[in-house]
Structure 1
Amino acid sequence: MTPPTVAPWVRTRLRAAPGAACALALLVALTSCLAAVFPRAVQDYEDAGLRHAVSAAAPQRTVLDLTTAQPAIEQEADARDEMMRTESMRSAYDKIVDSLHAPLAVDETQSSYGLRTTVQLKAADTDTWLPRPDGLGAQFTLSAQTGLARHSSVAAGRMPRAGKVTWETTEVEGAVTAATAKALHIEPGSVIHVPALMKGNVSVRITGVLKARDPKASYWAAAPVLAAPSLRQTETRPPSNFWVGGILLAPEAAPALLGTAGDPEQFWQLAPDLGSLDARTVPALKSAVAYTKDGPGLLAVREATGGDTEVATGLDEFITGYQELRARIGPVVSVAAYGTGTVACIVLLMAGGLAAERRRAEFTVLRSRGGSVRGLAGRLLAETAVVAVPAGAAGLALALVAVRHGRWQPAVLAAAAVVLLTCLALPLRAVAAHRRVHVGGARDDLAHARPSRRRTVAELTLLVLAVASIVALRRRGTSDGGDSLVALAPVLVGVVAAFVLVRVYPLPLRWLARPAGRLRGVVGYLSLARTGRATAGAGTAVLPLLALLTALTTAAFGGSVLAGIDHERDRAAVLTTGADARVESGSPLPAALVGQVRKMPGVRDVSPLTLRYDAEPKDGKRKVPLAVVDTASYARLSARTDLGKFPAGALTTDAAKAGTAASPLPVLASPSMRDVFGTGPFSLWMDGEDVVLRISEVRTTTPALSDDFLVVDRTALARRVGIGQKANEDIAYRYLPSSLLVTGGHIDGPALRKAAGSKVSVRLRATERARYVDSPLQTGAARVYSAAVVIGAGYAALTLLLALARAAPERTALLARLRTMGLTRRQARRLLILEALPQAALAAAGGALTGWAAIRLLSPGLDLTGLALATAGDGGPVAQLRTDALSLLLPALCVVLLATAVAAGQAWWAGRRGFVRELRAGEAS
Structure 2
Amino acid sequence: MMRRALHAGPWFRLARSQWAPLTALAVLTLVTALLAVAVPAATAAGYDRDATAAVGTDADLRVVGQAKGAGASSAVPNMGALTANAFTWQQLLPGSLRTVTGPPEASVALTNPQGIGGEFAQPRELALDWEPEADQRIRIVAGRPPVNEPPQGPGPSTPEIQVMVSQRYADAMGYKAGARLTLFDEDTPEPLHVRITGLYAPVNPRDTFWASRVSVLQPTERIVGREGTRVAHGTALMDAGGYTMIAAGSQRGFTFTWRFPVRTGAVDTGRARTIAADLDSYRAAVQGRPGLFACTVDTPLEGRLDAFLGRLRTARSVLGMALAALLAVGAGVLLLAAGLLGERLRPVLGTMRARGASLRQLARYAGGLTALAVVPAAAAGSAAGLLLDTGPPQASSFSAVAALAVVVLALSGAMVLRERGGGLGSAGGARRDDFTAARPSARRLVLDLLLVVVAVAGVVVLRQRGGASGGDPLVAAVPVLLGAALGMLVLRAYPYLLRAAAPLLRRGRGAVWFVGLARASRQSVIGALPLVILLLAAAVAGFSATVDAALRHGQVRASYSVVGGDVRAGSTGLDPGVVAKARAVKGVTAVVPARVVQQVTGPGEPAPITVVGIDLDAYRAAFPGVPGIPDAPHGQLVSPGAAGILDSGSKAVTLSSHYIDPFRFKPDATIERFPSMDTGSAFVVVPYKTFGSGNYPTELFVRGDHVDVAALRKVLDAAAPKGAPRDVQLRRDVLHGMTAVPMVDLVHRTFRNAALIGGGYGLLAVLLVLVVGARARGRTVAHLRVLGLNRRQSRALALVEIAPVLLCAVAAGWILGLLLPEITGPVVDLRSYTSGFTATGHTPGTAALLGLLAALLLAAAAALAVDRAFDRPALGDVLRTGD
Category of TM-score, reference length = shorter chain: 0.7 to 0.9
What is the distance in 1 between the residues matched to 2:625 and 2:42? 40
Query: For residues 13 and 750 of structure 1, do their structure 2 counterparts lie closer, same or farther at Cα, with a shift above 3 Å needed?
Result: farther
Q: Check whether the contact 2:367–2:413 (CA below 8 A) recurs between aligned residues.
A: no
Aligned residue in 2 for 1:149: 136
CA deviation profile, 1:325-355 (whole Å, cap 9, x unmatched)? 4223321221112111111111111111122
Aligned residue in 2 for 1:654: none
Aligned residue in 2 for 1:461: 450
Aligned residue in 1 for 2:535: 549
Query: For residues 743 and 289 of structure 1, do their structure 2 counterparts lie closer, same or farther at Cα, with a shift above 3 Å needed?
Result: closer
Aligned residue in 2 for 1:101: 94
2:728 equivalent to 1:768: no
RMSD: 4.4
2:305 equivalent to 1:339: no
CA deviation profile, 1:220-275 (whole Å, cap 9, x unmatched)? 4445654555666776x989776654222346876555545345565432223343
Percent of aligned pairs with the same amino acid: 24
Offset of residue 467 of structure 1:
0.9
| Residue identity opposite 1:879 in structure 2 | A
What is the distance in 2 between the residues matched to 1:3 and 1:341? 41
Q: Secondary structure at 1:268's aligned position in 2?
A: strand
Q: Check whether the contact 2:6–2:12 (CA below 8 A) recurs between aligned residues.
A: no
2:657 equivalent to 1:667: no
| Residue identity opposite 1:816 in structure 2 | A
Q: Secondary structure at 1:464's aligned position in 2?
A: helix
Alignment of 1:228-267 (within 5 A): 245-250=234-239, 255-256=244-245, 258-261=247-250, 262-264=252-254, 267=257
What is the distance in 2 between the residues matched to 1:334 and 1:849? 20
Query: For residues 862 and 128 of structure 1, do their structure 2 counterparts lie closer, same or farther at Cα, with a shift above 3 Å needed?
Result: closer
| Residue identity opposite 1:667 in structure 2 | G
1:433 to 401, 418, 423: 418
Aligned residue in 2 for 1:904: 864
Alignment of 1:267-286 (within 5 A): 267-286=257-276
Q: Secondary structure at 1:488's aligned position in 2?
A: helix
Offset of residue 573 of structure 1:
0.6
Q: Secondary structure at 1:478's aligned position in 2?
A: helix
Aligned residue in 1 for 2:127: 140
| Residue identity opposite 1:104 in structure 2 | L
Q: Check whether the contact 1:67–1:309 (CA below 8 A) recurs between aligned residues.
A: yes
Residue ranges of structure 2 left out of the alignment (5+ in a row): 721-725
1:845 to 791, 808, 811: 811
CA deviation profile, 1:382-402 (whole Å, cap 9, x unmatched)? 444444444334433443343
833-842 vs 786-795, which deviates more?
Answer: 786-795
What is the distance in 1 between the residues matched to 2:547 and 2:501? 38
What is the distance in 1 between the residues matched to 2:536 and 2:728? 48
| Residue identity opposite 2:452 in structure 1 | L
Q: Check whether the contact 1:282–1:319 (CA below 8 A) recurs between aligned residues.
A: yes
Offset of residue 413 of structure 1:
3.9
Aligned residue in 2 for 1:712: 687
Q: Check whether the contact 1:189–1:206 (CA below 8 A) recurs between aligned residues.
A: yes
What is the distance in 1 between the residues matched to 2:811 and 2:601? 60
Offset of residue 568 of structure 1:
1.1
Q: Check whether the contact 1:175–1:206 (CA below 8 A) recurs between aligned residues.
A: yes
What is the distance in 1 between the residues matched to 2:387 and 2:459? 38
| Residue identity opposite 1:904 in structure 2 | L
Q: Check whether the contact 2:51–2:308 (CA below 8 A) recurs between aligned residues.
A: yes
2:105 equivalent to 1:112: yes
Aligned residue in 2 for 1:824: 790
Aligned residue in 2 for 1:659: none
Q: Check whether the contact 1:167–1:256 (CA below 8 A) recurs between aligned residues.
A: no
Alignment of 1:229-628 (within 5 A): 245-250=234-239, 255-256=244-245, 258-261=247-250, 262-264=252-254, 267-295=257-285, 307=292, 310-314=295-299, 315-407=301-393, 409-422=395-408, 424=409, 427-439=412-424, 440=428, 441-481=430-470, 483-517=472-506, 519-535=508-524, 541-588=527-574, 591=577, 594=580, 597-598=583-584, 600-601=586-587, 603-611=588-596, 622=608, 625-628=611-614
Offset of residue 313 of structure 1:
2.9
Q: Secondary structure at 2:98's aligned position in 1?
A: coil
Aligned residue in 2 for 1:6: 6
Aligned residue in 2 for 1:661: none
TM-score by length of 1: 0.80
Offset of residue 171 of structure 1:
6.4
Aligned residue in 2 for 1:53: 54
What is the distance in 2 between the residues matched to 1:201 and 1:668? 54
Offset of residue 543 of structure 1:
1.5
Aligned residue in 2 for 1:741: 701
What is the distance in 2 between the residues matched to 1:132 and 1:94? 45
Offset of residue 811 of structure 1:
0.9
Q: Check whether the contact 1:187–1:209 (CA below 8 A) recurs between aligned residues.
A: no
Offset of residue 193 of structure 1:
5.9
Q: Check whether the contact 1:462–1:492 (CA below 8 A) recurs between aligned residues.
A: yes
Aligned residue in 2 for 1:662: none
Q: Secondary structure at 1:248's aligned position in 2?
A: strand
Q: Secondary structure at 1:667's aligned position in 2?
A: coil
Q: Check whether the contact 2:582–2:712 (CA below 8 A) recurs between aligned residues.
A: no
1:803 to 769, 773, 787: 769
| Residue identity opposite 1:280 in structure 2 | G
What is the distance in 2 between the residues matched to 1:233 and 1:517? 85
Aligned residue in 1 for 2:62: 64
Number of equivalent positions: 856
Query: For residues 569 and 162 of structure 1, do their structure 2 counterparts lie closer, same or farther at Cα, with a shift above 3 Å needed?
Result: same
What is the distance in 1 between the residues matched to 2:68 and 2:382? 59
Q: Check whether the contact 2:52–2:267 (CA below 8 A) recurs between aligned residues.
A: yes
CA deviation profile, 1:775-832 (whole Å, cap 9, x unmatched)? 3334334433332233223222222322333322211221112212322223222222
Q: Check whether the contact 2:61–2:260 (CA below 8 A) recurs between aligned residues.
A: yes
What is the distance in 2 between the residues matched to 1:519 and 1:325? 58
Aligned residue in 1 for 2:874: 915
Offset of residue 618 of structure 1:
6.8
Query: For residues 526 and 13 of structure 1, do their structure 2 counterparts lie closer, same or farther at Cα, with a shift above 3 Å needed?
Result: same
CA deviation profile, 1:628-666 (whole Å, cap 9, x unmatched)? 4395x43422445465376xxx87xxxxxxxxxxxxxx4
Q: Check whether the contact 2:102–2:262 (CA below 8 A) recurs between aligned residues.
A: no
Q: Secondary structure at 2:29's aligned position in 1?
A: helix
CA deviation profile, 1:844-873 (whole Å, cap 9, x unmatched)? 33223333443443335532223x32x43x
What is the distance in 2 between the residues matched to 1:690 and 1:289? 49
Offset of residue 450 of structure 1:
1.2
Offset of residue 363 of structure 1:
2.6
